[in-house]
Structure formats: structure tokens, C-alpha cells
Structure 1
Amino acid sequence: MAIKQDRYDEQEKPRIILIIDDSAADRKIYRRFLTNQDRIAVEILEASSAHAGLEICASAKPDCVILDFRLPDRDGLSLLDDLQTIHPVPVIFITGQPEALLVSEAFRRGVVKYISKDTVTSSSIQEAVYDALDLI
């Protein structure tokens, strides 16, 4: 589902953001946070599993991925390598498991930003996406 707000020039190409999270409620919140801003046009794609996320990444070639750690079919860390093989893309890691070793490993595998689910806000997710897209 494409979200295009009329504040944007009709020529502006929306940035494709893929949210991979098994929580429909969390995906809805992230979608709202990203569509309630006026800096960039966005098209939000969603996947509730690693498998679906890989398929969407291969076909849609997103500009940025927001990735949860705990997914029903595999963990986000193991998914990172496959995502980068299919389509190199900036990944923002969001998890409720903010252990130092997990976060460190995520960065080692190429994550560009990390946000704890406990502290995610509209501005933190927007700034993470802007930064990942080199818009800051």
C-alpha cells in the first residue's frame, strides 16, 4: 500500500520502507510514525515473517528495512546476511531484547541503526530512517 501525501511534489519518487515484524500492532505504529512526517514521501511495505520479508526485499528493492529481532520463522540476526545478499540495503534493527552482545552483533553484520522497542518514538524512528537514507 503506497502512502503519498499531497505535500510532496508529484515528481518525487517515494522511498520504499520495508517493515519486517511479526507484531501487527508494532507494524501499525511504525507505519503511522513514518507517514506522519512531511520530509519524504514513503511507500510502506510490511512482512510478518523472515520468509515474507526476503521475498518482498527481492521483488520491491526497498530503500530501507526496519527489522525486528524475534520473528516466527528465524531471528533477525540470521536474516541480516540474507537480506544483504539479496539486495544491499540500510537496516534499522528494532528489538525488545537490548542485550549488548546482540546489539554489537547486529552492528557487526551491517545494521546502521538500533532502537529498543521500549524507547521507540515517532522522532526516533523518523530520524533513524532519515539517517539510514542519508537525509540528515
Structure 2
Amino acid sequence: MTTGAPQSASQPESARPPQPQRERMSAVRWAVIVLFGLLFAYDLFGALANLTGVLAVVDAENAVRASVDLDLISPPWALLVVTIVLPVAGFAIAALVGRRHSVATAALVFAAGLAAVAALTASLTALA
């Protein structure tokens, strides 16, 4: 008669099925992540600098417009916010897509993500 105790407790260690172990990330993978993280951060820094620059230009233009009784203009907030969000989202998406692939494939995914972010940022900056 069985008492309902789990059978695995009475089995020897060699008879138990192996537990899946978490794969540790190699130093090369960490180097790829850090390198592309810095490149995405550079694009983010450019977007933040663009934000402050555009706001300064709009403020100066509004000062001139106010002195000659013209309507004031507003900054292109949507474009400026999107250019700030793009590098963060691009890095996150590339990290999620490349996490289960080889280091070389992950590097290519990060490079494609960086290229897409740079192209979209340049296009949106031209619109702003």
C-alpha cells in the first residue's frame, strides 16, 4: 500500500531526471550587450541634446514673435518624445529577440536594431 509520498524522494540521485540548468552568459555576450548598449545610449544622448536644442530655438523664436505680435509656436513634442523613446525601445526589442540566439546572431540583431533606430531618429529629426 502506498502512502502517497513522492517517489522521487526514495530514488537515488542518479535515477532522477536532470533538472534544466540556466545557461550562464559568456563574457563575449556581455561585451556585445555592453557595446551595443553604449551605442544605443549615444543615440539617446543625441535625442536628449536635440530636445534641449529645439526647445531653446523655439523659445528664442517665440520671443521674437511676441515682440512683433505674431502667434507663438509650440515645440514638436510628439517627435521629440518619440526620438527619446526609440533608442530605449530598440535596445529592449533587440535584447529580447537576440537573447536565445548565438552571440554572432545576437550581435547582428543589435546592429540591425541600431540601424533602424538611427534611420528613424534621423528622419524624425529632419521633421522636427
The two structures share one fold, judged by TM-score above 0.5 = no
Select the structure that is richer in strand.
1
Question: Given the two structures, how large is their TM-score scaled by the length of structure 2?
Answer: 0.26
| Bigger helix share | 2
Query: Normalising to structure 1: TM-score of the pair?
Result: 0.24
- Structure whose alpha-carbon radius of gyration is higher: 2
Higher relative contact order (CA 8 A, sep 6+): 2
